[in-house]
Amino acid sequence: MSRFVEIEEKRSLGLTWDIEMDINDTSVDLKLPAETRFGGDCRLSVKVAAPQTVRLVLKWQGLELGAIGKQFDTSAVFSWLGKDSKPTLIYKPTWSQQQSFPGTTCDDFSCTVTPTKFADAHEGNDKFNASTHRLYRIRYAWDGMMAPVAVVKSIPSHSLAHAVSPAFSSRYPNDMRLVFPHSNDAELWASSTVLATASPYFKTLLESDFAENVHRGGQTPQLAGTETNDSQVAELKKKEADASRPGSAADAFMKETGPAVDDSDDETDDLLVSTAAEQDKDTSSKEEPTYREVTITEASYSTYRALLLYLLTSHIKFAPLSSTFLPRNTTASKTRSSHLKSLHTINPDLPLPVSPKSIYRLAHVLEIPSLLAVSLDNIKSQLTISNAARELFSDTSALYDEVRAVILDFVVANWAEIKESEGMKEMERKTIAGEMPRAGAVLFKLMALVSK
């Protein structure tokens, strides 16, 4: 017998189940759903993997990223229930603080209650006998959320994204114009209030002289973000972002300590470039209000558009890492191009998927912690035996400690396979040939870790 007991909603979320089971019976394999107002498929699996060894897995799928809360601590409490239904703790695992629930890759929490834990429980209270006891309580809790769970979005982020996306090409009600001269003078419109609130960087920028007050004048070629056809699609090229190209005064303010040029979204812009048809505008009836304008050359149109959509809706779609399509060959670029085009066909009203590395770099400059966490989480989720070495020795890894640490953890954990991979052999050849000036420090750190 098992029953779902309660749901708690304060600045935390708690789910509790009371279960009757024999923890010595290996045929026990329970699937216990929880019906909540948040929707999705919430299900607790309880399996006796071996006598007095209980495996717990909580999965909650089908929810939007961060829909329930952000910045929280997770715990599971496994207790035995006495005759008075009072719970006594057997085991309480915890998980490191996470940025949002649900997240991008972690939609389940699992742990194992071992025989040692049951023995300790008996030693602490001899009324508990693991051989004969049958009543247990399992409680999962997400505590310390920044926002009360009661403010869960009523509109899924992807639906909201569909509604909001066209606004970035409209002057009204926005008051800030972002111009991208390296993408055919494409433009994006945004609210200066939204940008200043979300980003300390933009707050400083808007208080400075870099964002000029201007009036609308003339027509501007734009990127078509909602539709594409074969005549518009340019074949994707594997290219490096040109860190030395000249930019505006605002760009000089935006530059970081050094360029990171791998996985640029400039190639995604190639899929979107088109010149907007001339539009009839009646400018004689009234003068256009003043707006702020910033010229952007150090980040791509695609990256900024995805970031603006995320700030308003929490929706973002990441593209595969370019290393996923390696080893390099003449068809690798086309393969990635075909993949992006197919994704765009599925969701033509939304921006094309963007590189998590490009988003990470931009979020780092703009000082947006939540987006840093989301993009880093995606980079981690895309690591494989085949691409990990190339990612470890990438420019982004060399420039950002958090990215490098995540990749190093993966490489060290899978070193037996990765050291024999073609990617690792390629990195070794390039390092010896002097083609990777930043590789020395990374290689030294890697060797120190794998030699332990």
CA nearest 426: which of 396, 398, 389, 399?
389
Give the β-pairing of 176-180 and 291-295. parallel
Three-point CA angle 290, 296, 301, nearest 5° = 105
Q: Cβ(35)–Cβ(44) under 8 Å?
A: no
328-332 long-range contacts, Cβ below 8 Å, gap at least 24?
A: 328/238, 332/238
Token output for 410? 């993966």
Q: Does the domain at residues 2-151 carry the CATH identifier 3.10.50?
A: no
Confidence of residue 341 (pLDDT cuts 50, 70, 90): low
Query: In the predicted model, what is the mean pLDDT of residues 432-448?
Result: 86
CA dist list (Å): 122 to 22, 80, 132, 188, 429: 16, 10, 12, 65, 59
Give the pLDDT confidence of 45-102 residue by residue, as tens digits: 999 999 999 999 988 877 665 666 666 678 899 999 988 888 999 999 987 655 555 5
Q: Cβ(178)–Cβ(187) under 8 Å?
A: yes
The Cα–Cα gap between 176 and 294 comes to 8
Confidence of residue 42 (pLDDT cuts 50, 70, 90): confident
Confidence of residue 285 (pLDDT cuts 50, 70, 90): very low
pTM of the model: 0.54
The Cα–Cα gap between 321 and 391 comes to 9
Compare 12 and 391 and report the one with higher pLDDT: 391
Give the pLDDT confidence of 129-162 residue by residue, as tens digits: 999 999 999 998 877 654 444 333 334 455 555 5
Q: With b meaning 16 or more CB within 10 Å and e meaning fewer, what string describes 118-131?
A: beebbeeeeebebe
Instruction: Show the beta-strand stretches assigned E in 207-366.
Output: 212-214, 291-295
Q: Cβ(117)–Cβ(124) under 8 Å?
A: no
The Cα–Cα gap between 302 and 366 comes to 16
Q: Report the range of poorest mean pLDDT among 113-122, 166-175, 234-243, 337-346.
A: 234-243
Instruction: Show the beta-strand stretches assigned E in 170-304.
Output: 176-180, 186-190, 212-214, 291-295
Query: In the predicted model, what is the mean pLDDT of residues 297-305?
Result: 88
DSSP collapsed to 3 states, 53-84: EEEEEEEEECCCCCCCEEEEEEEEEEEEECCC
Query: In the predicted model, what is the mean pLDDT of residues 323-344?
Result: 57
CA nearest 363: which of 303, 407, 321, 404?
303
DSSP collapsed to 3 states, 310-322: HHHHCCCCECCCH
- Alpha-helix runs per DSSP H in 367-452: 369-381, 388-392, 395-399, 401-413, 415-418, 422-432, 439-450
pLDDT at residue 19 above 50?
A: yes
The Cα–Cα gap between 243 and 233 comes to 25
Confidence (pLDDT) at 11: 57
Token output for 39? 């929707």
The Cα–Cα gap between 294 and 174 comes to 14
Give the start-to-end residue ranges of the domains of the chain.
2-151, 157-278+287-370, 383-452
The Cα–Cα gap between 72 and 105 comes to 16
Give the up-direction half-sphere exposure of residue 54: CA atoms within 13 A in the CB hemisphere.
27
Query: In the predicted model, what is the mean pLDDT of residues 295-307?
Result: 89
